[in-house]
Amino acid sequence: MVEDMYGPIAVVVNSCGRAAYSQMYPMFGQVMAFSPYYKGGRDKDLDDAAVRCKAAWDKDEGVTTHCNQTFHRGPLSLIAIVMVAFNCIPQDRMSLF
């Protein structure tokens, strides 16, 4: 199991949007929805994910991203979250999506 190897997973960011809450994960992390392609909620979702993930990382807890819709939303979501959480670039200048 991942947690046995890397420590506790505090946040599971499911990048398939609202369908995230119907997923069952074999860990105790907080599942949160992230809709990377929905312009109506993407910025708020990104801000929420960045805040939650940064808080977990500050406590030395793990974070994972997942998407059961397509193969690329999870990695792209993680890149966006890291960029915002660590203020690598201002969010209004992001052009990942």
- pLDDT tens by residue, 40-57: 778 888 888 899 988 988
Residue percentage of the chain with pLDDT more than 70: 73
Structural domain of 36: 2-93
Average pLDDT over the chain, rounded to an integer? 77
CA distance 42 to 37: 7
pTM of the model: 0.74
Q: What is the pLDDT of residues 8-39, one digit of tens each?
A: 888 888 887 766 665 677 777 788 888 877 77
Q: List Cβ neighbours of 32 (8 Å cut-off, separation of 6 or more).
A: 11, 12, 13, 14, 20, 48, 49, 52
CB 70 within 8 A of CB 53: no
Overall number of domains in the chain:
1
